[in-house]
């Protein structure tokens, strides 16, 4: 019995250590390639849900901070004012049964708790139960080990790791409503400048929404320990102007480009195991285990945001995915250098 308890405690210690290690590696994952722009910040909200959460947090910190200052000041005053002096040894007078003090330390905390409760409930309902306008964009987010799949069901677009959404404004509200699914284990979608964390749980549909108020690039992170490369499961959200988003949409709806000069690379892609895991629209490749590569080169990064998308990194990734992402589920294909060069040449045409 004792041995069983020790084994159980050791197991939990191992799990907790892995979780803490994964969270600590998140920062290093974000800085994996310093040539990639962007940063994560919880102090500069740029979307209505994030702004409401930020205001709620400020209220809580203000109230609890005031309580701390008051109690600490009162404690310091009592310690200094009523400290023992000289040879004083007599017991100070004892006071019992102050109705006013007892009412104060009962009523005031109750009122503070009620205020915090009502403020929190208001934010929860505002974030979780918004009115969905007809102009809203629908996106299905699917978490995989260790990458993100983004599907735009009304637009017929499938992409990976880099989410494009239009900017929203009071005159033309264009919020993005997301359905969150998991293909394997628990994940958590978190872009701190746009919204709070929402989990992706197998066999369950969760929902969240954002309405970015400023264009630009916003970075996020899987916030639920999901395996060895959890820290390198990054998110990049591009908030585009309406014109930029319309142009991106038109490009993504096009089939893959056919270039006779890279026919050998396309043949390799369609005859090797690549096609079993990846989709390239307009070809025989219809795999669903890995990211859709139809417009691979329209993305700034590969490997879920950890390195820049260029020919050198793409070559290294195909030769040995563990070089960038140890524990990734993509196998090394054991191709010759000439085959890899031909394959990269083909993939580089997928704009």
Q: What angle do CA 177, 194, 249 make, to 5 degrees?
A: 50
pTM, two decimals, is 0.82
309 close to 302: Cβ distance less than 8 angstroms: yes
Per-residue pLDDT tens for 87-112? Answer: 777 777 777 778 888 898 899 999 99
Query: Is 34 a residue whose pLDDT tops 80?
Result: no
Kindly report which listed range (10-14, 220-224, 312-316) carries the lowest average pLDDT score. Answer: 10-14
Q: Transcribe 32-50 into DSSP letters.
A: SSTTS-----SSS--BHHH
What pLDDT is stored for residue 11 in this prediction? 44
The pLDDT tens digits for 117-168 are 999 999 999 898 888 888 999 999 999 998 999 999 999 999 999 999 999 9
- The pLDDT-based confidence of 9 (bands split at 50, 70, 90) is very low
- Rounded to whole angstroms, the Cα distance separating 284 from 268 reads 12
pLDDT band, very low/low/confident/very high, at 37 (cuts 50, 70, 90): low
Q: How far is CA 140 from CA 30, 114, 157, 207, 287, in A?
A: 24, 37, 11, 9, 18
Q: How far is CA 227 from the centre of its chain?
A: 15
Query: In the numeric block, which tokens belong to residue 138?
Result: 């629908």
Read off the pLDDT band of 14 (50, 70, 90). Answer: very low
| pLDDT tens-digit series, residues 158-217 | 999 999 999 998 888 999 999 999 999 999 999 999 999 999 999 999 999 999 999 999
At 35 the pLDDT is 55
Map out the domains of the chain with their CATH numbers. Answer: 48-81+99-128 (no CATH), 260-347 (2.60.40.420)
Q: What percent of the chain has pLDDT over 70?
A: 89
pLDDT at 219 > cutoff 90: yes
User: At CA 56, angle to CA 51 and CA 58, rounded to 5?
Assistant: 95
Q: Residue-wise over 210-227: b if at least 16 C-beta within 10 A, else e?
A: bbbbeeeebbbbbbbbbb
Tokens of 265: 């690379």
């Amino acid at each position: 019995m004792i041995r069983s308890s020790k084994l159980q405690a050791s197991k939990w210690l191992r799990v907790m250590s892995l979780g803490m290690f994964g969270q600590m590696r998140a920062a290093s994952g974000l800085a994996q390639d310093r040539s990639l722009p962007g940063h994560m910040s919880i102090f500069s909200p740029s979307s209505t849900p994030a702004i409401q959460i930020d205001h709620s947090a400020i209220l809580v910190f203000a109230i609890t901070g005031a309580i701390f200052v008051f109690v600490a000041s009162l404690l310091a005053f009592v310690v200094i004012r009523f400290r023992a002096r000289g040879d004083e040894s007599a017991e100070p007078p004892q006071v019992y049964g102050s109705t006013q003090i007892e009412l104060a330390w009962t009523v005031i905390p109750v009122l503070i708790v009620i205020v915090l409760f009502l403020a929190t409930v208001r934010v929860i309902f505002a974030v979780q139960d918004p009115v969905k306008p007809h102009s809203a964009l629908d996106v299905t987010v699917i978490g995989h080990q260790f990458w993100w799949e983004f599907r735009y069901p009304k637009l017929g677009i499938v992409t990976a790791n880099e989410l494009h959404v239009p900017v929203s404004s009071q005159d033309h509200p264009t919020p993005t409503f997301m359905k969150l699914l998991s293909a394997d284990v628990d994940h958590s979608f978190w872009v701190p400048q746009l919204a709070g964390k929402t989990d992706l749980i197998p066999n369950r549909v969760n929902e969240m929404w954002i309405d970015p108020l400023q264009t630009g690039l916003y970075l996020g992170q899987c916030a639920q320990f999901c395996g060895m490369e959890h820290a390198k499961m990054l998110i990049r959200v591009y908030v585009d102007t309406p014109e930029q988003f319309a142009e991106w949409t038109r490009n993504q709806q096009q089939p893959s480009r056919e270039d006779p000069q890279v026919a050998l690379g396309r043949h390799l892609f369609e005859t090797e195991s690549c096609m079993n895991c990846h989709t390239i629209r307009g070809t025989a490749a219809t795999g669903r285990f890995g990211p859709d590569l139809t417009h691979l080169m329209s993305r700034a990064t590969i490997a879920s945001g950890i390195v820049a998308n260029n020919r050198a990194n793409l070559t290294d990734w195909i030769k040995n995915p563990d070089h960038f992402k140890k524990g990734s589920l993509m196998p090394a294909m054991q191709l010759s250098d000439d085959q890899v060069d031909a394959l990269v040449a083909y993939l580089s045409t997928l704009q």
